[in-house]
Amino acid sequence: MQIDPGIAAVIIGAAVVTFLPRVLPLMLLSRMELPGWAMRWLHYVPVAVMAALVGQELLLQDGELALLHNPKLLAALPAVIVAIVTRSLLGTVVVGIAAMMVLRLWM
């Protein structure tokens, strides 16, 4: 089996482009002590990224804002309540899936 050099170069290039943005900041920042304001700012990055991903999925239907007749948004409500009350990831996922299933059968 022969591998086309062009395809091999694309695969290696994609690996490098994927690897470098993840490793370089880790290598550089692990040797530095960041100021307090930077650490506080970085603390909120995962929450902001998750909110952006989930918010877009919940609020948009066919590229448009959908607040009414939106089963995803309705299914998220009991899941959020379970998440706040129990702080259980498994419980939140199960309630969200069950709510979505019931809404899809009903709507």
DSSP secondary structure string, 13-56? HHHHHHHHHHHHHHHHHHTS---HHHHHHHHTHHHHHHHHHHHH
Give the range of the structural domain holding residue 99, as residue numbers without chain letter: 36-106
- 49 and 66 share a domain? yes
Q: Are residues 28 and 46 in the same domain?
A: no
CA distances from 73 to 20, 29, 55 (A): 37, 38, 9
Q: Are 10 and 43 part of one and the same domain?
A: no
Both 92 and 40 in one domain: the answer is yes
Into how many domains does the chain fold?
2
pLDDT class of 14 with cuts at 50, 70, 90: very high
Same domain, 72 and 102: yes
Same domain, 40 and 16: no
Which pLDDT band, with edges at 50, 70 and 90, does 32 fall under?
confident
